[in-house]
């Protein structure tokens, strides 16, 4: 089982359990995330969802590049993985407990959660420019952080440490790794103790000002996904060599 679902005092913990591969988003992991998310939405005994990864190194390192190279993945389908509030409605609050690197698709998963608690050693990156892939899902980033910060994140692909991520507004709390679970559980419990209708309405209200930019972002990134470079990046990763970009 690569994704585990458990409820602790009204808080559902959805854990990617593939630490040997830095919790990368294989087909099995993606299916498990879909199953767990749907289970949470329907679970009357769970008021808050916490998404996290197993181990101490990675929350989620992103897509499984070896799998992408084998399947020659171009544009991921709309249901490639659950994106809270985009391709699945999750009216109850969600928290990312980031226990290590959150790169690419891992950044996506943390970004789509309502709140983020990070271990001190956590790092965040939209690393697609380094492997020739696409990040249309990052369209709301300039709603979350100042536009110049968003541009630096997107154009360099370089990681932000947990402290910097908190400074720019990507993260709510930074805690020692040993306290990540207890701190997140306590935060979730405080939310779960509030009036559920008020909590859901508060969440919906907060997102009223977020622009709906995904459709345009998909158009921008489609030719990138279909490019030779988009296949070269995962192939280079698989072959453990530097990519050779052609710009086409």
Mean of pLDDT over the chain: 92
Q: Is the pLDDT of residue 73 over 80?
A: no
* Sign, Cα dihedral of 200, 206, 208, 212: negative
pLDDT at res. 69: 65
pLDDT at res. 185: 98
Indicate the burial class of 190 (C-beta count within 10 angstroms; 0-12, 13-18, 19 or more): exposed
Class of domain 3-179: alpha beta
The whole-angstrom separation of Cα 188 and Cα 183 is: 9
3-class state of residue 75 by DSSP:
coil
Instruction: Tell me how far the alpha carbon of residue 213 is from its chain's centroid.
Output: 18
Q: Is the pLDDT of residue 65 over 80?
A: no
pLDDT at res. 57: 96
Q: What is the mean pLDDT of residues 115-130?
A: 96
pLDDT at res. 222: 84
pLDDT digits (tens, 9 = 90+) for 7-38: 999 999 999 999 999 999 999 999 999 999 99
Residue 209 DSSP class: G
Which of 145, 97, 144, 99 lies closest to 117, judged by CA?
Answer: 97
Contact of 104 with 133, CB cutoff 8 Å: yes
Phi then psi for 176, rounded to 5 degrees? Answer: -55, 145
Contact of 21 with 56, CB cutoff 8 Å: no
Q: How far apart are the first and last CA of the chain?
A: 39
Residues facing 103 on adjacent strands: 125
Radius of gyration of the chain, Cα coordinates, nearest whole angstrom: 17
Residue 76 DSSP class: P
pLDDT digits (tens, 9 = 90+) for 125-136: 999 999 888 888
The whole-angstrom separation of Cα 209 and Cα 246 is: 39
Residue 63 vs residue 207, higher pLDDT: 207
pLDDT digits (tens, 9 = 90+) for 134-159: 888 899 898 999 999 999 999 999 99
The answer to whether the pTM exceeds 0.85 is: yes
Choose the weakest-confidence range: 54-58, 119-123, 153-157, 212-216: 212-216
pLDDT at res. 68: 66
Domain boundaries defined on the chain = 3-179
pLDDT at res. 45: 97
Q: What is the mean pLDDT of residues 198-206?
A: 94
* Cα–Cα–Cα angle for 46, 170, 190, rounded to 5 degrees: 30
Q: Is the pLDDT of residue 99 over 70?
A: yes
The whole-angstrom separation of Cα 147 and Cα 143 is: 8
The whole-angstrom separation of Cα 191 and Cα 93 is: 8
Q: What is the mean pLDDT of residues 154-172?
A: 97
Q: What is the mean pLDDT of residues 185-196?
A: 97
């Amino acid at each position: 089982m690569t994704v585990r679902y458990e409820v602790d005092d009204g808080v559902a913990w959805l854990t990617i359990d593939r630490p040997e591969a830095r919790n990368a988003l294989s087909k099995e992991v993606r299916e498990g995330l879909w199953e767990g998310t749907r289970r949470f939405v329907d679970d009357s005994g769970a008021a808050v969802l916490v998404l996290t990864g197993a181990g101490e190194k990675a929350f989620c390192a992103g897509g499984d590049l070896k799998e992408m190279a084998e399947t020659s993945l171009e544009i991921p389908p709309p249901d490639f993985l659950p994106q809270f509030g985009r391709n699945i409605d999750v009216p109850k609050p969600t928290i990312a407990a980031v226990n290590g690197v959150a790169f690419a698709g891992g950044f996506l998963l943390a970004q789509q959660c309502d709140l983020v608690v990070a271990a001190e050693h956590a790092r965040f990156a939209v690393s697609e420019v380094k492997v020739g892939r696409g990040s249309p899902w990052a369209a709301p980033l300039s709603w979350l952080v100042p536009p110049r910060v968003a541009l630096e994140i997107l154009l360099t692909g370089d990681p932000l440490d947990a402290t910097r991520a908190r400074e720019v507004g990507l993260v709510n709390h930074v805690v020692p790794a040993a306290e990540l679970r207890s701190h997140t559980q306590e935060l979730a419990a405080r939310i779960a103790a509030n009036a559920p209708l008020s909590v859901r309405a508060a969440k919906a209200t907060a997102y009223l000002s977020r622009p709906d930019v995904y459709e345009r972002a998909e158009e921008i990134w489609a030719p990138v996904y279909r490019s030779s470079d988009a296949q070269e990046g995962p192939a280079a990763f698989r072959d453990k060599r530097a990519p050779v970009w052609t710009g086409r």
